[in-house]
C-alpha cells in the first residue's frame, strides 16, 4: 500500500445536491447522502467494514483486480471478518445462555453486510435471509446505489482518487475513529468543492449537501482529529465565497492531513490523548 489508501470520490462526495429544504438542523436523509455518510452510524461497524474490505482488495490484488470474498468467521488457515473488524463486543451471560464475543462480532458483521447491500455496495449471490447467504457476495464499487452496480476493481494509479496515508489502514486508525471522524478525514482527502488555497476549506452548504455531514458531528470530529494529531486545523473568518469577513459569523476552517500522525500506532496514541484530556477535567 505504498501509494496510500485510495478511494474513488463518488464514495465521499455527492455530485448533485439533493432537492429539498435542508440545513444543519435538518440534514439530508441517508438515501440522499453519498455512500460514506449514508452507511455511517454512531455505533455500527458498517463504514469501517467497507473501508477494510477495500483495503484488503488493494493489499491483495493488482490494479483492476476484483477481490474474493471472505467468510464472516475465519478459520485457522483463513481470516474472516470477525478477525478484521474491531467491535466492543464482550462475552455475555453464563452456562447455556452464554453468547461468546466472536458470536456477537459475527452478528454485527452480518448486520453490516445487510446494510451494505441496501446501500448498493455489496451484492449477495443468492436469496436473502439464510445464514449461508452471508458467505457468498460480491464487493461492488464505491458509487453504491447512485450508479450502475459494478464489481469493485482496484483503482489505477492515474485514476482520480482521494488518498489517505497508508498508516490509516496499517496502523489501525480505521478501527479506533468514530464514523463522524472518518467522514471528516474522507472529506479532507477528497477536497472537492474547497475554496482556493493550499489547504482544504469546505463551505458549510457543500459540507452538508454534497458530503452529508451536519454541523454538530463536524465540529466534534475536527477537534478530536486535531487532538489525535491527524489534522492541522486553521480557523479562518471568511464568507462562503472565500472573501474576508469582518463580522463574527461565517467561520470556515482550513484543513490539511498530518501525514506523520498516521505513522503512529492508533490505539496507544488515542489512549494517551484521552488520558491526558481526562487528567485536565
For the stretch 143-191, pLDDT in tens is 888 767 788 999 988 899 999 999 999 999 999 999 999 999 999 999 9
pTM of the entire predicted model: 0.87
Residue 111 inside a domain? The answer is yes
Residue 270 inside a domain? The answer is no
Domain count across the chain: 1
* pLDDT for res 96: 45
Residue 271 inside a domain? The answer is no
Residue 280 inside a domain? The answer is no
Residue 91 phi, psi dihedral angles, 5° rounding: -60, 135
Residue 273 inside a domain? The answer is no
Contact yes or no for 38/179 (Cβ under 8 A): no
Rounded distance between C-alpha atoms, residue 101 and residue 99, angstroms: 7
Residue 276 inside a domain? The answer is no
Average pLDDT on 38-52 reads 90
Rounded distance between C-alpha atoms, residue 5 and residue 23, angstroms: 32
Rounded distance between C-alpha atoms, residue 222 and residue 280, angstroms: 20
Angle at 37 between CA 53 and CA 260, to 5 degrees: 65
R_g over Cα of the chain: 20
Cell numbers of 165, please?
A: 496515508
Look-up of cell digits 482544504 = 200
Rounded distance between C-alpha atoms, residue 116 and residue 45, angstroms: 11
Residue 72 inside a domain? The answer is yes
Query: Average per-residue pLDDT in the chain?
Result: 85
- Which of the residue ranges 12-21, 91-100, 154-163 would you say has the lowest mean pLDDT? 91-100
CB burial readout 135-171, b (16+ within 10 A) else e:
bebebbbbbbebeeeeebbbbeeeeebbebbbbbbbb
Angle at 12 between CA 205 and CA 178, to 5 degrees: 95
Domain that holds residue 17: 5-92+101-263
Contact yes or no for 169/5 (Cβ under 8 A): yes
Residue 277 inside a domain? The answer is no
Amino acid at each position: 500500500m505504498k501509494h496510500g489508501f485510495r478511494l474513488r470520490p463518488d464514495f465521499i462526495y455527492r455530485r448533485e445536491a439533493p432537492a429539498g429544504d435542508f440545513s444543519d438542523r435538518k440534514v439530508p436523509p441517508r438515501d440522499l447522502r453519498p455512500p460514506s455518510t449514508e452507511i455511517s452510524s454512531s455505533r455500527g461497524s458498517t463504514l469501517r467494514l467497507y473501508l477494510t474490505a477495500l483495503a484488503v482488495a488493494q493489499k491483495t490484488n493488482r490494479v483492476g483486480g476484483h477481490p474474493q470474498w471472505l467468510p464472516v468467521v475465519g478459520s485457522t488457515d483463513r481470516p474472516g471478518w470477525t478477525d478484521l473488524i474491531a467491535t466492543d463486543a464482550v462475552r455475555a451471560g453464563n452456562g447455556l445462555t452464554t453468547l461468546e464475543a466472536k458470536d456477537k462480532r459475527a452478528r454485527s458483521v452480518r448486520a453490516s453486510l445487510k446494510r451494505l447491500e441496501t446501500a448498493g455496495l455489496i451484492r449477495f449471490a443468492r436469496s436473502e435471509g439464510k445464514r449461508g447467504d452471508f458467505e457468498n457476495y460480491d464487493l461492488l464499487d464505491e458509487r453504491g446505489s447512485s450508479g450502475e452496480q459494478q464489481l469493485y476493481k482496484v483503482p489505477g494509479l492515474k485514476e482520480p482518487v482521494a488518498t489517505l496515508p497508508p498508516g490509516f489502514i496499517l496502523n489501525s486508525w480505521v478501527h479506533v475513529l468514530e464514523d463522524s471522524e472518518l467522514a471528516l478525514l474522507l472529506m479532507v482527502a477528497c477536497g472537492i468543492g474547497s475554496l482556493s488555497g493550499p489547504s482544504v476549506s469546505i463551505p458549510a452548504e457543500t459540507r452538508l449537501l454534497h458530503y452529508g455531514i451536519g454541523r454538530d458531528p463536524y465540529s466534534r470530529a475536527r477537534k478530536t482529529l486535531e487532538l489525535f494529531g491527524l489534522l492541522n486545523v486553521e480557523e479562518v473568518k471568511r464568507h462562503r465565497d472565500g472573501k474576508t469577513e469582518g463580522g463574527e459569523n461565517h467561520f470556515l476552517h482550513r484543513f490539511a492531513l498530518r501525514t506523520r500522525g498516521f505513522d503512529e500506532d492508533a490505539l496507544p496514541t488515542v489512549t494517551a490523548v484521552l488520558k491526558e484530556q481526562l487528567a485536565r477535567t
